[in-house]
Structure formats: structure tokens, C-alpha cells
Amino acid sequence: MKRIWTTLTAALVLMACENKDPQDPTAGVNTTSSGEDSESDSESTTAGPSDPPATSDPPATSAAETETETSGDTGDTTCNFLGCETTGGTGIAPECDNWTQDCPEGQKCSAYADDGGTSWNNLKCVPVEENSGAPGDPCTVEGNGVSGVDSCGKGSMCWNVDGDTGQGTCVGLCTGSPDATDCADPQTTCVIANEGVLNLCLPSCDPLLQNCMGNDLCLPNPDDEGFVCVLDASGETGVAFDPCEYANACDKGLVCQDPGFATECDPAALGCCLPYCDVTEPDCPGAGQDCIQWYDPGTAPPGLENLGLCGIPMG
């Protein structure tokens, strides 16, 4: 199945978020044609622009090399779930395997940032607290959201961490292997991000309904044809036509895509925040934009047949 992905959704790269008040995704945008408070100081998705409806090959981006497939007129693109720029690690070898959880007794294999940054880029063994939390339980982190040290049990990590309080929610890690993933909760989907450092079981969602909990964003899963809930890392930016480098750097209802889909976007930017739309009720804010079908005809998953992206057809 092909779906429309543009410049930023290929590989997922998650990084920390900024707390902010919710705002209108199309604030300041002049409607011309058919159509948050971030929760974690440690998570943003570097999946550069997500895959939009295909119209033609979009301009190549120089960011993270995570390939996403675009169907129709948008073409293939490279980037991560958290950002369109992949910088790589510091050369420090991972201490453990997050799939086999091969740390010594009483420890777990945990993702962390080994470079003092805000994006998980390595793995290490950390102690598991007594009475540690299970998926769905509240949790706290030590230091910041990418420290790797939290109050969740083995096989889970603290997610959606509030940058002010250091509190979040435990989410389960995928089981199996990168080629044969599984999640204990059937309502979740395995998302592999940050070059394999993260393997998270995140809730599935509908991008038109934006039915994620709290301020989480509904974004394309680069590992399959569906959509998953990801924390909002847009901070004080992320309204329609704002530049973006991470998949989760746009406000709810928007997705980071190729700047060529709107004349209002900065053509030099790695990505641009653009709205999802319903092809049966198009309402796009940009000049000359149409609601471009996200999936090729006959390939959409059940319930996503009407999903589109507001963009100027490139074909």
C-alpha cells in the first residue's frame, strides 16, 4: 500500500517538547479554498514532514534520512518522526538491547540522550525501582525526559513527560523483534523511532477525528499504514504554514509536510505545517490548495478512505 508521504515522515525521531497553551492550528491563515500544550520536554518526533497525498516527487530535504513513501503526487521523502534532521549519536556504543532487555537482574534497557540533547539516541541499563509502574500508570523521570531513568518497570518507559513537573505516563515497549513486532495492548501499535532506539506501543488514532488523549497529535506511523498518537512538541510555533523539522512540531490537526504543497510556506524550509482534510468536505486554508487523497484508490485502511492533505497538486 502506498500512502502520501512528503518530506519528513520516514524514520521516526522523537525529542523533547515545550509546554504551551493550546492554539488554533489555522490562526493567522487566510482561508481561500478547500482547507497543545506540549506534554513532554523530552519528546519530539523527527519524522520530518509526514507523508501526504502523493502528487509528484516533492523537493528533497537534507534532513534525517528516514524514508517515507508518498503515493500519488507527493513522492518519496526522507526524515524522522521527530525531526527532519538526523544527527546520529556520539559514538558511544549501546549498553543493551531494547528488544531482548538483556541488562543484569534488577535493571532495564532504557533509551536516553547521550549528548545532552533533547532526543533519545542511545540505550543504557538503568535500575528498576521497587513498585515500579506498569503501562498506563503515572510516572516520574530523574532529571529530564531523555535521561533514561524513570519510575516505570522493565519493558516500559515514562512517556509524555511534562517539562515542569517531570511527570508522565508509562507506555509499554514493543516485544518480538524489529521484523516481527507485537504489543500486549491490541489498541496500540508498535512504533520504531530514533534509528531503533525507541520501540514504543502507542495508541492508534484517526487524523480526522484527532481522537488522542490530551494534547497528543495523531501522526502517520512510518512502520505501517496507520496513524498513532504522539506527543506535541510544537512549543509556541506549529500553526498552519509554519516551518517544521519534526513530524510532531505542528499543532493538532496539522502535519509536517513538503513546503511545495503551499505558496504560503517557506520553500527553503525542511518542512511546513499543513492541515489534514476530509476529501468529502474540503476546507483548505491555502491559495490554490485542494484536499489531496492521502492513500491511493482502494488502499486506505478501514475508516481512512476520506483522509486527505491540504496541498497544491504537484502532478
pLDDT digits (tens, 9 = 90+) for 45-79: 444 455 444 433 333 222 233 233 333 333 333 33
What pLDDT score was predicted for residue 57?
35
Closest CA to 307 of 289, 290, 295: 295
What pLDDT, on a 0 to 100 scale, did the predictor assign at position 147?
96
Cell of 117: 540533547
Task: Report helix, strand or coil for 261.
Answer: helix
The pLDDT of residue 231 is 84
Q: Which of 21-35, 94-108, 278-292 has the lowest mean pLDDT?
A: 21-35
Q: For the chain, what is the radius of gyration of the CA atoms? A: 18
Query: Using 50, 70 and 90 to split pLDDT, how confident is the model at 90?
Result: low
The pLDDT value given to residue 311: 97
Q: Taking residues 180-203, what's their average pLDDT?
A: 92
Of 232, 191, 179, 194, which is closest to residue 79 (Cα–Cα)? 194
Higher-confidence position of 128 and 51: 128
Mean pLDDT score, 200-225: 90
**Residue, of 14 and 272, whose pLDDT is higher:** 272
CB count, 10 Å around CB of 182? 10
Given a contact cutoff of 8 angstroms between Cβ atoms, the answer to whether 169 and 136 are in contact is yes
Give the pLDDT confidence score for residue 315 in this predicted structure.
66
H/E element, 190: strand 188-193
pLDDT at 66: 29
